[in-house]
Amino acid sequence: MNIILASGSPRRRELLTRAQLDFRVLSVDIDETQQVNELPKDYIERMVATKAAAAIEQLNQTLSIDESNEDSFTESVVILTSDTIGVLPDGKTVLVKPVDREHAYSMWQQMSDNVHEVWTAVQATRVQLLSKKVEDHTSHRIKDFQVVEQQQLTERTEVTFIPLTTQMMSDYWDSGEPADKAGGYGIQGLGAAWVERINGSYTNVVGLPLAQTLALIKDMS
């Protein structure tokens, strides 16, 4: 089975590599803006579905440019997409990647000496190269990737932070680590010093619930 990780996250790549999974990486670029009044669960489920659609579109564009690429996909392909957010105890406020220092401070102040949850949605989309008729004057047939199966899961982990001081937040922001991480911290890095305890999957907080994802892939085979 061919597996494609449609993500630019080095943390997700590292987790799947640790699991000795053979996969390719395909980065996708989508609009990740949360819609007005969109609930966190609806938001991340929409994100993973949108990323999967973008990945399929990229694959089909590659085929249309170079049909020899078809030889690389003799079996079905499973596309993995994932999205991770933090959620405050109100169940509505989403903690995303900080846009600047002030945004990071605002999130951290709400997380300080408090419990938040990390939610990750994962979608496995199995596609195959299928032939379809193009309705035009030539009535020719082309091959492209079409969805034959999709499954999603959402994993939640509780994270408790210690009380944070302004100096702690300043030092951490200056380290450069928070910029590309949901909630503005990395539990696998310097941010671990802020975590008093977790309840649930550690790898989920890193960015991909590994055991659950591997089970999802197995179920798709």
31 catalytic per annotation: no
pLDDT value, residue 1: 76
Q: Each residue of 134-192: pLDDT tens digit?
A: 565 555 556 788 899 999 999 999 999 999 999 999 999 999 999 889 899 999 999 99
CATH number at residue 134: 3.90.950.10
Q: What is the per-residue pLDDT for 180?
A: 87
Tens-digit pLDDT profile for residues 7-55: 989 999 999 999 999 999 999 999 999 999 999 999 999 999 999 999 9
Q: List the domain range (segments joined by +) for residue 209.
A: 2-220
Burial class (CB in 10 A: 0-12, 13-18, 19+), 136: exposed
Q: What one-character DSSP code corresponds to residue 35?
A: P
Residue 57 predicted with pLDDT over 80: yes
The single residue of 22, 29, 83, 113 carrying the catalytic annotation is: 83
Yes or no: say if 19 and 214 are a contact pair by the CB < 8 Å rule.
yes
With cut-offs at 50, 70 and 90, classify the pLDDT of residue 217. very high
Taking CA atoms, 183 is separated from 85, 138, 186, 206, in Å, by 7, 53, 8, 11
The b-or-e profile of 97-134 (16+ CB within 10 A means b, else e) is bbeeeeebbebbebbeeeebbbbbbbbbbbbebeeeee
Among 3, 11, 52, which Cα is nearest to 30's? 52
User: Which of 66, 93, 75 has the alpha carbon at shortest distance from 3?
Assistant: 75
CB 201 within 8 A of CB 157: yes
- The amino acid that residue 23 corresponds to is F
| Number of domains the chain is built from | 1
Given a contact cutoff of 8 angstroms between Cβ atoms, the answer to whether 111 and 184 are in contact is: no
Beta-bridge partner residues of 5: 25, 80
Give residue 121's pLDDT: 97
The residues, any chain, with a CB within 8 Å of residue 166's CB and separated by 6 or more, are none
Q: What is the pLDDT of residues 183-216, one digit of tens each?
A: 999 999 999 999 999 999 999 999 999 999 999 9
pLDDT digits (tens, 9 = 90+) for 67-110: 555 555 556 899 999 999 999 988 889 998 899 999 999 999 99
pLDDT of residue 139: 53
pLDDT of 138 reads 56
Its pTM stands at: 0.87
Q: How far apart are the first and last CA of the chain?
A: 7
Q: Which residues touch 29 (CB under 8 Å, ≥6 apart)?
A: 54
* Whole-angstrom distance, CA of residue 209 vs CA of residue 221: 19
Each residue of 38-51: pLDDT tens digit? 999 999 999 999 99
What residue type is 25 in one-letter code? V
pLDDT at residue 69, as a whole number: 55
- Cα gap 19→211, rounded to integer Å: 9
What is residue 26's predicted lDDT score, i.e. its pLDDT? 95
